[in-house]
Amino acid sequence: MARNRFGLLRVSTFVVAGIMALATSTTAHSETLADAFVGAYRSSDLLEQNRALLRIQDEDVAVALSSLRPIVSYSLAQSRAQNATGVTNSTTASLSASMLLWDFGRSELGIEQAKEAVLATRSSLLDIEQSVLLNAVTAYTQVRSAAEAVALRSNNMRLISEQLRAAQDRFEVGEVTRTDVSLARARLAQSQSNLVAAQGNFAAAREFYRAVVGRFPGELSNPPRAPRTASSLDEAKAIGVRRHPSIVQAQHSVRASELAAEAAQKNILPSLNGSASISRSAGSSATTSSLGLTLSGTLYSGGQVSARYRQAVAQTEAQRHALSAQVSSVRRAVANAWYQVETARAQIEASQGQIRAATVAFRGVKEEADLGQRTTLDVLDAEQDLLDAKNALITAEANSVVAVYTLLQSMGLLTVEHLGLGIPTYDTSAYYNAVKDAPATSTQGARLDRVLNSIGRN
């Protein structure tokens, strides 16, 4: 009965190994890492969400600009009055317009502040693009590593199965004890458990790939040659400080806070508004019209204006410290990624050397066991050492790929443009250019429709 279960286990092992080998083979139709990048960029809901948030921010520029334009309103009034002389009906139509003429530059400052917020949001979107692409790298390497681990575990089960069969044969002729057979069986059960775990990891990696790239992985080719990063750690840090989107975003946030503080300081100054109106009552040939100028300001507001200004100044100070902290964070992230790249490469070399030595040791122990100079446990231990070395190499190679792209991200270079993927990218200025003048006419509206249709196709 034990032999039957063992035989079925061998069959399932070979089937799984064959499937994994097929899934990781390299053919002319294999998916590349670039394909994963493109899929992640095109299918990311996170990117779509933040593109919509950017369009919301674009509209704030139009809202700020509208404060400098006239406001035209109308009204129609119908009334019915009854007194001792009878009932009187009256209808009045009026048209009025008002416009801010001068507010000491507060409105212009508000427009500039909205523009800085747009630039900050664009940088935030670019940072999210980096995260999406890094997830694509991670998902790609996880699928490949998990598939290789399944194939390795399957092969390990095959080898241990052979060791168990050999131990049983030698036990039957009295060359080994029942303990050797039990040790082989225990190691086979452990190997089966490890294979099941590897298969679970492979299934989870496929699901993660689907969530990131938008589809299940097919046949994945080997990752391409690692892209160039920087010639030194200092150069990498300098590029990160200059290019990283989070730093650019923080710089625009500082400028927006400075503009807000300047506008808050001017809130104590008055505003000059102009107004015009015309009205006419039904049944009357007289038309009433008026023109007016209004200078208004606040003499006392309970200290609110001063408090708002102090609040804006404190906000500016906070943003400056946030910028400084972000610069330090980027430098630290670049250094960490740089050392991760070096560590992964060193681990690859060490694992390759370990595999070579463990292979020689395993073959020697196996030959000595055939001569009766080694026990079954010695063979199993040597085989486990070789397996551990191969697993370490799989992990190190995956870590090396992810580490290089993590370094690119920390430098602010993990973008579709820098990677040269050759696909249309989202134009962050198209919607802004269509709405920055607060369109209301049919010509501007048609242009906006074209931009929105283009966004929908993306």
Which tens digit of pLDDT belongs to each residue from 52-79?
999 999 999 999 999 999 999 999 998 8
- SS3 category, 120: helix
User: Cα torsion at 433, 436, 441, 442 (round to 10°)?
Assistant: 30
CATH topology of domain 2-69+117-253+330-426: Outer membrane efflux proteins (OEP) (1.20.1600)
Q: Which residues pair with 293 in a beta bridge?
A: 274
> Looking at the predicted structure, is the pLDDT value of residue 138 above 50?
yes
For the chain, give the percent of residues with pLDDT over 90.
66
Domain extents for the chain?
A: 2-69+117-253+330-426
Cβ burial of 429 (10 Å; 0-12, 13-18, 19+) is exposed
Binned at pLDDT 50, 70 and 90, residue 306 comes out as very high
- Residues 6 or more apart whose CB falls under 8 angstroms from that of 395 comprise 145, 347
Cβ burial of 81 (10 Å; 0-12, 13-18, 19+) is exposed
Q: Are 112 and 259 in contact (CB under 8 A)?
A: yes
> Looking at the predicted structure, is the pLDDT value of residue 435 above 70?
yes
Binned at pLDDT 50, 70 and 90, residue 181 comes out as confident
Handedness of CA 245, 249, 251, 252 (dihedral sign): positive
Query: What is the C-alpha separation between 247 and 243, in angstroms, rounded?
Result: 8
Binned at pLDDT 50, 70 and 90, residue 271 comes out as very high
Per-residue pLDDT, averaged over 331-360, amounts to 94
Binned at pLDDT 50, 70 and 90, residue 15 comes out as very low
Q: Which tens digit of pLDDT belongs to each residue from 385-402?
A: 888 899 999 999 999 999
- Closest by CA to 126, choosing from 404, 407, 409, 405, is 409
Strand ranges inside 283-362, DSSP E: 287-296
Write down the mean pLDDT value for the chain: 88
Q: Which tens digit of pLDDT belongs to each residue from 115-137?
A: 999 999 999 999 999 999 999 99
- pLDDT score for 384: 86
- pLDDT score for 83: 79
- pLDDT score for 146: 95
Distances (CA, A) of 116 to 130, 302, 425: 22, 31, 22
Query: What is the C-alpha separation between 244 and 240, in angstroms, rounded?
Result: 5
Sheet holding 86-102, edge to edge: 71-83, 86-102, 271-281, 287-296
The residue ranking higher by pLDDT, 1 or 313, is 313
